[in-house]
């Protein structure tokens, strides 16, 4: 069951959707969500530009996407109806706030006739509910002014939909009381509206039976509902604990990454230092400074900030210090679509710096995976003394799913050791510290923290002499250092899991290769194609640089390779260049994820249609 809540930016649709999601999670449904809101904080009320929506997919079985076409649309005004109706499945259910369909709002939404009366909604099941006036009626006894009363109507809608889908109400009631505890009258009004909506669903003859979505059969364990940015922030805290390095975040606010800064700034008990820097460059600069001092340095941003940080990333590559650069991708170029998702920064992550400047790149594939990917990024950064780029995106950042909590004891030890003694004898026979002497296996350099007696040394962005780290303009040395830095990153392939093929491993006609947030859509789309008799294998990449050792063999084992991406084919280019295979690309850059049916169709098209 897929429900889409839509209204004006000021109508509280994100809050309504979020609460419905929490109630569903506690009820035991599997779920996936997708908030979809405009970049403007408050676009003019009632206009198409101001429509804010929240889609939630609840299910009695394991699901991986927020769903293709909503089954139910809750539209709080004409603009919401006009914007969102085209997404609704044929014959779907529409619940509208009848009170909002006055001439003024209809005109603002661009309707010449009222869609509720002109017959244009005949193909749908439409429930017209006077939500505004019913809400006002419910809260009037509390002494709330009509104008303020109207603001509780999202809770009326929430109560109504909660009844329709038999959500337990206790959690929401407790939440309202707690959330608005500082404003008792607002709490009372919202509560009254919520109960009125619920009661309306129960008593009105509009609905002849409630919809029931049973709990899903999920693996046993303790679950919580998590979005990608929170999971990522918690993963960073976990990485700090597991590495025994204090966490330092240098960050500049940017959509959709800011919530990581917000979350981390709460957790001072974990020794987390956060700096809201003066700009993106200072964010990464401070993180480099903290890393130099022995902290786990992190900077978080989105595309425009990645561009600004590029020079500093080059410095971190030259300094060979651990650093995490987290890019929550959004639509570009330039300011682009700040609140819409895209995954078009992959080639920038690979190549967006001057000189030969390789660094590891890894990507999360679901909201909860952000937790583990943060730990893995830190593991690689610390072990190999290198900056690591972690790619997430706006969809993962804000989307939620139930997460079976890991056992903390099972998380890896990613601690490291620092140099405390000289590591070299110079030509004068003196014991000295050479900061660029490397571990022969990992090629990681020796790391001595400021404060360590006897190991004083200078590092910097000028090319360094192999070993001593002194400034060197020697051409042989430069070539050797360029190769050493590349080889260090390439060798990480020996230290990451091999790629795993899923689906019809032995006899697939087609391999679908994905990375990032397309995971859920690919899973659902491939399974649909398999249900129609096609043999499909899938591989999803977490490690993008270096690629897993076995990726080339996997790619060559199947007759056809299809690469769905939320860009114009960036991974497919890399695969073609690296492995000389005919990787076909299917792309989408519409600010929203692939739907399962789009990928099912792309798979069938690649295979020449149904057998």
- Residues binding other proteins (CB under 8 A): 22, 25-26, 28, 171, 218-226, 234, 237-238, 241, 246, 248, 250, 267-273, 275, 277-279, 281-282, 285-295, 297, 311-312, 314-315, 319, 404-406, 408, 450-462, 470-471
Q: In this complex, which beta carbon is closest to other proteins, that of residue 141 or of residue 451?
A: 451
Nearest distance from C-beta of residue 404 to other proteins, angstroms: 8
Q: How far is the CB of 235 from other proteins (least distance, A)?
A: 10
In the structure encoding, which two tokens stand for residue 181, read together?
């505890």
Kindly state the smallest distance separating residue 175's Cβ from other proteins, in Å.
9
Radius of gyration for the chain, computed over Cα atoms and rounded to the nearest angstrom: 27
Task: Give whole-number Cα distances, 447 to 320, 382, 534, in Å.
Answer: 9, 10, 53
The nearer residue to other proteins, 285 or 593, going by C-beta atoms, is: 285
How far, rounded to the nearest angstrom, does the alpha carbon of residue 179 sit from its chain's CA centroid?
Answer: 26
Q: By C-beta, is 248 or 594 nearer to other proteins?
A: 248
Q: Which is nearer to other proteins, 33 or 567 (CB)?
A: 33
> Residue 402: is it exposed, middle or buried by C-beta count within 10 angstroms (0-12/13-18/19+)?
buried
Q: Which is nearer to other proteins, 297 or 331 (CB)?
A: 297
CB of 295 vs other proteins, minimal distance in Å: 5
Nearer CB in complex with other proteins: 210/461: 461
Backbone φ, ψ for residue 267 (5° rounding): -105, 55
Based on CB atoms, which residue is closest to other proteins, 413 or 441?
413
In the complex, least distance from residue 432 CB atom to other proteins, rounded to whole angstroms = 9
CB of 407 to other proteins, least distance (A): 9
Give the DSSP letter string of 470-538. -B---HHHHHHHHHHHHHHHHGGGGGSPPP-EEESTTT-SEEEEEEGGGHHHHHHHHHHHHHTT--EEE
Q: How far is the CB of 201 from other proteins (least distance, A)?
A: 24
CA neighbor of 15 nearest in space, from 31, 30, 37, 32: 37
Nearer to other proteins, 121 or 432 (CB): 432
Considering the complex, what minimum distance in angstroms separates the CB of residue 555 from other proteins?
A: 37
CB of 352 to other proteins, least distance (A): 16
Closest to other proteins by CB, 170 vs 507, is 170
* CA–CA dist 403, 31 (Å, integer): 10
Q: Are the C-beta atoms of 357 and 317 separated by less than 8 Å?
A: yes
Q: Which helix H or strand E contains 544, and what residues bound it?
A: strand 543-545
Distance CA 331, CA 137 (A): 43
- Between 457 and 480, name the residue whose CB sits nearer to other proteins: 457
Q: Is the dihedral of CA 121, 122, 126, 132 positive or negative?
A: positive
Contact 92, 124 (CB under 8 A): yes
Cα angle, residue 178 at apex, residues 176 and 179 outer, rounded to 5°: 65
C-alpha to C-alpha distances, 61 to 34, 66, 217, 222, 543, nearest whole angstrom: 18, 13, 6, 17, 29
Closest separation in Å from C-beta 360 to other proteins: 21
> Which residues are CB-neighbours of 291 under 8 A, at least 6 positions away?
248, 297, 316, 321, 322, 323
């Amino acid at each position: 069951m897929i429900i889409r809540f839509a209204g004006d930016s000021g109508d509280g649709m994100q809050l309504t959707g979020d609460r419905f999601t929490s109630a569903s999670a506690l009820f035991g449904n599997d779920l996936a969500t997708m908030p979809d809101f405009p970049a403007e904080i408050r676009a003019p009320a009632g206009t198409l530009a101001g429509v804010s929506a929240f889609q939630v997919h609840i299910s009695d079985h394991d699901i991986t996407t927020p769903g293709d076409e909503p089954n139910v649309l809750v539209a709080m005004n004409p603009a919401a109806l006009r914007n969102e109706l085209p997404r609704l499945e044929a014959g779907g259910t529409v619940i509208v706030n009848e009170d909002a369909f006055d001439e003024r709002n209809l005109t603002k939404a661009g309707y010449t006739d009222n869609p509720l009366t002109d017959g244009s909604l005949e193909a749908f099941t439409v429930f017209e509910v006077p939500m505004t006036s019913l809400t006002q009626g419910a809260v009037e006894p509390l002494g709330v002014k009509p104008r303020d009363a109207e603001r509780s109507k999202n809770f009326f809608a929430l109560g109504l939909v909660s009844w329709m889908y038999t959500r337990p109400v206790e959690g929401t009631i407790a939440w309202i009381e707690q959330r608005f505890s500082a404003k008792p009258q607002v709490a009372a009004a919202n509560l009254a509206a919520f109960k009125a909506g619920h009661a309306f669903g129960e008593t009105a003859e509009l609905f002849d039976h409630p919809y029931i979505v049973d709990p899903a059969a999920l693996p046993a364990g303790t679950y919580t509902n998590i979005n990608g940015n929170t999971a990522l922030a918690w993963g960073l805290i976990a990485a700090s604990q597991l590495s025994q390095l204090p966490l330092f975040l240098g960050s500049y606010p940017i959509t959709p990454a800011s919530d990581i800064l917000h979350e981390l700034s709460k957790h001072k008990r974990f020794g987390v230092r956060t700096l809201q820097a003066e700009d993106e460059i200072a964010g990464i600069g401070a993180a480099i400074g903290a890393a130099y001092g022995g902290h786990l340095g992190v900077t978080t941003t989105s595309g425009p900030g990645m561009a600004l940080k590029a020079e500093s990333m080059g410095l971190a590559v030259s300094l060979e210090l651990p650093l995490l650069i987290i890019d929550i991708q959004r639509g570009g170029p330039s300011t682009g679509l700040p609140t819409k998702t895209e995954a078009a920064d992959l080639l920038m992550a690979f190549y967006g710096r001057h000189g030969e400047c390789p660094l590891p790149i890894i990507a999360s594939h679901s909201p909860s995976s952000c937790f583990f990917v943060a730990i893995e990024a830190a593991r690689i950064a610390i072990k190999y003394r290198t900056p690591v780029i972690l790619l997430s995106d706006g969809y993962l950042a804000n989307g939620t799913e139930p997460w079976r909590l890991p056992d903390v004891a099972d998380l890896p030890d990613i601690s490291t050791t620092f140099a405390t003694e000289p590591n070299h004898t110079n030509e004068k026979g003196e014991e000295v510290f050479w900061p660029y002497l490397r571990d022969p296996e990992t090629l990681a350099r020796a790391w001595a923290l400021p404060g360590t007696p006897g190991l004083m040394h200078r590092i910097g962005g000028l090319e360094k002499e192999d070993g001593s780290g002194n400034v060197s303009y020697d051409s042989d040395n430069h070539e050797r250092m360029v190769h050493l830095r590349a080889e260090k990153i390439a060798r990480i392939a020996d230290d990451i899991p091999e790629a795993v093929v899923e689906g019809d491993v032995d006899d697939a006609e087609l391999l679908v290769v994905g990375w990032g947030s397309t995971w859920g859509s690919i899973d659902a789309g491939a399974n649909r194609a398999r249900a129609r008799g096609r043999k499909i294998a899938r591989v999803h990449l977490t490690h993008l640089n270096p690629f897993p050792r076995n990726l080339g063999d996997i790619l060559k084992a199947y007759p056809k390779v299809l690469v769905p991406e939320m860009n114009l084919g960036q991974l497919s280019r890399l695969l073609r260049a690296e492995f000389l295979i005919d990787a076909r690309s299917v792309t989408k850059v519409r600010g929203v994820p692939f739907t399962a049916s789009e990928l099912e169709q792309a798979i069938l098209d690649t295979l020449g249609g149904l057998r």
